[in-house]
Amino acid sequence: MKFLDLAKVYIRSGGGGGGCVSFRREKYIEYGGPDGGDGGNGGYVWAEAVEGLNTLIDFRYQQHFFAKNGQPGMGQQRTGKSGDDIILRVPVGTEILDEDQETLIADLTEVGQRVLLAKGGNGGFGNLHFKSATNQAPRRANPGLAGVERTLWLRLKLIADVGLLGLPNAGKSTFLSATSNARPKIADYPFTTLHPNLGVVGVDNVEFVVADIPGLIEGASEGRGLGDLFLGHVERCAVLLHLVDGTSGTPIEDHQTIVKEIEAYGGFLAEKPRVTVLNKIDTLDAEEREFIKDELEAATGTKVMLMSGVSKEGVTDVLRALRQQIDDNRLRQKKLGEEPEDWRP
């Protein structure tokens, strides 16, 4: 299944049915009077967050969503049938934006959450509605109101508790693979991750969701590399895990590159709690580990943890540090014998 986190859709609510001009015509009834019914209302267009979806790929193949029009009114005081509603079923975490891609209409963050995107037109009044003491045989009826037509953008921001940050080849995918059942692509060249991956990680009988996004490079906020296209997927995270490659030779510069890019991205991303980890320590001896760690802590002013995703050294300590930054209401109790889940497109 291909991952897609941005889609453009065209919607239109149903138009209301027109009112009916009709008069009662029955044998032996001389003055039947008007009996034209009202038109039915047009269908509404809704968006609803549902379980089981984690990509917007369905909206690549169907972009137009039109609700049904209401039926016209009929004689014998019969009201026309209202048009059927149409529902856009989207993944949890979908933002609905106006055509300018800036105005936020709705943010669907819970299963079952629903929002009205376009209201159907009202049905027109039949001539029965206009009957009065001075106008006992009206020959007029209202047309139904037209539906609403809009162009919208759907943008998916994955729901996760921890977001992984780092340069390409910093070991983010290896960490996710070592701590969950997720199996992202891992190779010895940069940009092996081309789309976000989610994995459920467990520690001390609780579980939380970790999101791995493609690596950032200098100038990502200006569109270099994959740019900041996927940074939106870690906006909802409670804590960020910043992995620094211990074998790069320039760990301080690598750390500053990521910090500058998330600051340039804006929003509240730079203000989120971060756990900084020196990764790939399995390739370093004890003296090198402490030297690089001390240098990194002195340059950044933050505590630096040591870890190796390959040998799993220090992984549990990192998971416990992350767990402390996550509110209890976001955690899930791990059931005995339950395997960690994974998610990948």
- In whole angstroms, give the CA distance from residue 216 to residue 169: 10
DSSP 233: G
Q: How far is CA 161 from CA 181, 204, 260, in A?
A: 17, 16, 22
Q: How far is CA 254 from CA 77, 128, 260, 304, in A?
A: 76, 77, 10, 14
Domain boundary assignment for the chain: 1-156, 162-343
Q: Please report, in range form, the residues annotated as the binding site for GTP.
A: 166-173, 191-195, 212-215, 279-282, 308-310
Mean pLDDT confidence for 78-89: 95
Here the tokens at position 135 are 């106008």
Mean pLDDT confidence for 301-312: 88
Helix pair 315-324, 172-179: axis angle to 10 deg: 90
Q: Which of 179, 167, 176, 170 is nearest to 215 (CA)?
A: 167
Here the tokens at position 179 are 């701590």
- As a whole number of Å, the CA-based R_g of the chain is 29
231 pLDDT exceeds 80? no
14 pLDDT exceeds 60? yes
Lowest-pLDDT choice from 7-16, 58-67, 219-228, 314-323 = 219-228
Strand-pairing partners, residue 6, are: 155
- In whole angstroms, give the CA distance from residue 123 to residue 147: 11
* Per-residue pLDDT at 258: 85
114 pLDDT exceeds 70? yes
Q: Which of 155, 146, 147, 160 is nearest to 47 (CA)?
A: 155
Q: Are 48 and 87 in contact (CB under 8 A)?
A: yes
pLDDT in tens, 182-191: 665 555 545 5
301 pLDDT exceeds 80? yes
342 pLDDT exceeds 60? no
Residue corresponding to tokens 């991205």 = 265
Q: Please report, in range form, the residues annotated as the binding site.
A: 166-173, 191-195, 212-215, 279-282, 308-310
- Backbone region of residue 169 per phi and psi (left: phi > 0; alpha: psi in -120 to 50; beta: other values): left
Q: Please report, in range form, the residues annotated as the binding site for Mg(2+).
A: 173, 193
178 pLDDT exceeds 90? no
pLDDT in tens, 116-165: 999 999 999 999 999 999 998 999 999 999 999 999 999 988 878 888 88
Topology, domain 1-156: Spo0b-associated Gtp-binding Protein; Chain: A, (2.70.210)
254 pLDDT exceeds 90? no
* 114 Cβ neighbours under 8 A, 6+ residues apart: 46, 47, 48, 49, 87
69 pLDDT exceeds 80? yes
Q: In angstroms, how far is CA 205 from the centroid of its own chain?
A: 28
- Amino acid in the structure at residue 305: M
Q: Are 210 and 195 in contact (CB under 8 A)?
A: no
330 pLDDT exceeds 80? no
Q: What element of type H or E holds 164? A: strand 162-165
Supply the mean pLDDT for the chain.
84
Q: Write out the E strands in 36-140.
A: 45-50, 64-66, 86-91, 94-97, 104-108, 114-118
Residue corresponding to tokens 């509404």 = 44
Virtual torsion, Cα 160, 210, 155, 8, nearest 10 deg: -140
Between 231 and 240, residue with greater pLDDT? 240
Q: At the top level of CATH, which class does the domain 162-343 belong to? A: alpha beta
- In whole angstroms, give the CA distance from residue 18 to residue 125: 7
Strand-pairing partners, residue 74, are: 78
Give the confidence band of 37 by pLDDT, cuts at 50, 70, 90. very high
